[in-house]
Amino acid sequence: MTILRRLLDGLYTACGVLAALFLVALLVIIVLQMLARWTGVTFPGATSYAGYCMAASSFLAFASALNRGAHIRVGLLLTAVGRHRRWLELWCFAIGSVAAWFLARYMVNLVSWSWKLGDVSQGQDATPLWIPQSLVAFGAVVFAIALTDHLLRIVVAGDHGIEAELAGEDQPHA
C-alpha cells in the first residue's frame, strides 16, 4: 500500500508542478503579446494559447491542491457537527467523487470527439483542439482519482489524509 500511496502522492505533486509550469507559460505568452503590440508585430492565437494555459493550469492543480488542503472546505460546519464529522466528510467526498468522475468522463469524450472530427480552433493559428483539451481531461481524471482516493482513505482508515487544513480547523486555538 505504501508504494501506491507514494505513486498517488507523486502523481498529485507532478500535476501541481505541471500546473505551475503552465502558469509560467501563461505569463510568458502575456508578456510576448504585450511586446508584440508595442512593436506592431502580430502574435496570432496568443489569446487562445493563454486560455489553453489557464485551463490546463487550473485542472492540473486541482488534485495537488486537494491533497495539500488548499481547497475551500467548510471548516466551521465540519467542526460543529462534532462526532458526525466523519459521516459528513464521507458524504462530501462521495458526492465530489461522483461529480468528478462524471466531469472526467465527459472531458475524455470531448477529446475523443475533437480528435475524430479534426476540430481546430477558430483563430488564425488553427490549433487542433484535442491537444489543449487533453491536458484538461488529464487534470479532471487525476482530480477524480484524488477525490476517490481520499474517500477510500476515510472508509478504510477513518481519516481523509489531507496534509494541512488551511482554515486551521484541526489546530488547537490559543
Q: What is the pLDDT of residues 113-142, one digit of tens each?
A: 999 999 988 877 788 999 999 999 999 999
With contact defined as beta carbons under 8 Å apart, do 30 and 50 qualify?
yes
The set of cell numbers assigned to 25 is: 507559460
Which sign does the torsion angle of CA 99, 103, 104, 109 carry? positive
Distance CA 33, CA 174 (A): 50
How many CB atoms within 10 Å of residue 153? 16
With contact defined as beta carbons under 8 Å apart, do 142 and 12 qualify?
yes
User: What is the pLDDT, as a whole number, of residue 134?
Assistant: 94
Nearest to 154 by CA among 99, 97, 100, 105: 97
Q: What is the pLDDT of residues 76-96, one digit of tens each?
A: 676 777 777 778 888 888 999
Nearest to 113 by CA among 133, 86, 84, 96: 133
User: What is the pLDDT, as a whole number, of residue 75?
Assistant: 64
With contact defined as beta carbons under 8 Å apart, do 103 and 140 qualify?
yes
Tell if the pTM clears 0.85, that is, is over it: no
Q: What is the pLDDT of residues 62-73, one digit of tens each?
A: 998 888 776 666
Who's near 36: CB < 8 A, 6+ residues apart?
Answer: 42, 43, 46
